Amino acid sequence: MLIRREGEDDTEVIRAITAAAFARPGAAGHAPPEVALVDELRASKAWIPALSLVVTGSGGDVTGHVLCTRGHVGDAPVLALGPLAVRPDRQRSGVGSALMHAVLGAGDALGEPLVALLGDPGYYGRFGFRLASEYQIYPPVAGWQPHFQVRLLTAYRPSVRGTFRYAEPFDRV
């Protein structure tokens, strides 16, 4: 596995992987909303080119994608992680974990304070995510609290607390 930044030629394969990873049963022929979300994020001011990463397999084919975009806790700039997508035939072979470690390291190297996401604590706990409420950080929708997590990075300060806000394209998903 090799991990690198998304390049200009990767847009289509990222769409295909996102569509396959998030496909819902019974929704054949309809692209899942995560596909448009990634495209809209890429066109938005929340996009951070250094934090959209792809993983390639031994044949050079892209098998997974992760991105972080600009979010805020109160007025403080932070990172929002997702969507994270691994090609279904390559899932459960460490691709998702490799992408997570890479993007968290990159975010830390950029001096970002924390990464927020909505997901299963059973999966993301292994990457150091904890419930955001432990740090007085709250999701934009109160009902998300049991799944809303943050991973603190080196530049974190406890003064970063309050309600989290995703970039605007997330509002349409």
Query: In angstroms, what is the minimal distance from the CB of 143 to ligand COA?
Result: 17
Which stretch in 46-54, 93-101, 129-137, 151-159 sits in contact with ligand COA by CB under 6 A? 93-101
Number of shown-chain residues binding ligand COA (CB under 6 A):
18
51 forms part of the interface with ligand COA (CB under 6 A): no
93 forms part of the interface with ligand COA (CB under 6 A): yes
Q: How far apart are CA 173 and CA 170, in angstroms?
A: 5
Which stretch in 37-45, 86-94, 103-111, 143-151 sits in contact with ligand COA by CB under 6 A? 86-94
The DSSP output letter for 29 is T
Which stretch in 45-53, 90-98, 105-113, 148-156 sits in contact with ligand COA by CB under 6 A? 90-98
Q: Are 6 and 66 in contact (CB under 8 A)?
A: no
Helix axes 11-21 and 33-42, enclosed angle (nearest 10): 150
The residue among 75 and 172 lying less far from ligand COA, judged by its C-beta, is 172
Q: How far apart are CA 97 and CA 87, in angstroms?
A: 13
Helices (H), the chain: 11-21, 33-42, 95-109, 121-124
- Interface with ligand COA by CB under 6 A: which residues? 21-22, 82-86, 91-97, 119-120, 122-123
